[in-house]
Amino acid sequence: MIVATRKPFTEIKDLVSGHRKILIVGCGTCVSVCLAGGEIEVSILASQLRIALGLEGDDVQIDEAIVERQCNREFLVLLGKKKNMTDYDVIVSMACGAGVQLLGDVYDQKPVVPALNTVFIGIEEGPGIWAERCQSCGNCVLGETGDICPITMCPKGLLNGPCSGSRHGRCEVNPEIECAWVKIYDRLAARGDLERISKVLPPRKNSRRAHPAVATHEAYKRRFVKDEKIV
Ligand code: SF4
Ligand code: SF4
C-alpha cells in the first residue's frame, strides 16, 4: 500500500489560512490503513483547525468527507453528489499525492491542498509501523531474488550481490539493518534455489521510470479501440 504521514499542523494551517469554508476529504484506502488520512484523522484535523482558527477569531466552517478511494474518479464524482463543492473556498485532501492531484483535476475551480506527505510503497510491519518494500521500478526482479527487493532493501540498490562492506550479516550503510544480499542468499539457500544467485541481472531500465508513467490494461486498450472506433 501507499504509506503517508500527516504534515505538521502549522503547515496545514498556513495552507488554508484566509479561507472561510473548508472541506477536508479523507481517503478510505491506503492512507486510512496507515492511520494518516482516514475518517478518524479527518475528524481530528477538522477539530484542530476549528479550535486553532476559532482562537484567532476566524469565523470558519469546516466540513468533513471521506471517499473510498481518492485516486478513482468515480468516487470523486460521487463526492460532488453528496457535497456542494462550489460552496467551499478550499479543499484539504488527506490522500496520497495521486489522490490530491485527481481531486484537483475533478474540482479544478477550487484550490486543493495536501494535508499528507506521501512517503513510500510499503507493508505493515507491526501495529503503527510501516516499512518500505518497493520503489515501483517497473521491472520487478523479485522472482530472482527470493522475494526480497534489492533496489529497496539494499541502501545502494545493488542488483548483483553485496558490496564489500557487509559485516556479520549487517549493512555497512546502516548497521541497524540486515544486509539485503545476505538475506537474499539465506532465503534462496533455504529454498534450495541458490543457483539463482549466480544469474547476472541486467542493468535497470531507467526508461521504465520515465515520468509521468501510464499503464493501460490490454483488455481496456481493445475496448477503447472498439468503442471509440479509433482504428
Ligand atoms: S524490483 Fe523492487 S522496486 Fe522493482 S517492482 Fe519489484 S519490489 Fe518494486
Ligand atoms: S551491506 Fe548489503 S545491504 Fe548494505 S549496501 Fe552493501 S550490499 Fe547493500
Q: Is 155 close to ligand 2, i.e. is its CB under 6 Å away?
A: yes
Quick one: 87 and 152 in the same domain? no
Domain that holds residue 189: 135-200+208-231
126 falls within a domain: no
Per-residue pLDDT tens digits for 141-164: 999 999 999 999 999 999 999 999
**Residues 89, 154: one domain?**
no
pLDDT of 32 reads 97
CATH assignment at residue 103: 3.40.50.2300
- On whether both 103 and 155 belong to a single domain, the answer is no
Q: Residue 155 corresponds to which cell in the numbers above?
A: 541502501
Ligand nearest to the CA of 157: 2
In a domain, 128, yes or no: no
pLDDT in tens, 1-53: 999 999 999 999 999 999 999 999 999 999 999 999 999 999 999 999 999 99
Across the chain, which distance is largest between two alpha carbons, in Å? Answer: 69
Report the pocket of ligand 1 as residue ranges, CB < 6 Å. Answer: 134-137, 140-142, 149, 151-152
What's residue 228's pLDDT? 54
Q: Is the CB of 156 under 6 A from ligand 2?
A: yes
Three cell numbers written together for 226: 472498439
Nearest CA to ligand 1 atom 2: 149
Please choose, from the candidates 35, 12, 1, 34, the residue with its C-alpha nearest in 3D space to the C-alpha of residue 112. 12
**Closest-CA residue to 181 (of 144, 131, 139, 137):** 144
Pocket test for ligand 1, best of 1, 3, 136 (most atoms within 8 A of CB): 136
Greater confidence (152 vs 223) lies with 152
Query: Cβ(88) to ligand 2 under 6 A?
Result: no
Same domain membership, residue 116 and residue 144: no
CA dist., res. 44 & res. 7, Å (int): 13
The total of structural domains in the chain comes to 2
Q: Residue 129: inside a domain, yes or no?
A: no
Pocket test for ligand 2, best of 152, 181, 201 (most atoms within 8 A of CB): 181
* One domain for residues 101 and 169: no
Answer whether the bond into residue 150 is a cis peptide, omega within 30°. Answer: no
Question: Is the domain of 85 the same as that of 145?
Answer: no
Whether 229 and 141 map to the same domain: the answer is yes
The whole-angstrom separation of Cα 140 and Cα 129 is 25
Strand positions, DSSP E, 59-126: 61-67, 90-94, 112-114, 116-126
Phi/psi-derived region of residue 218, left when phi > 0, alpha when psi is between -120 and 50, beta in every other case: alpha
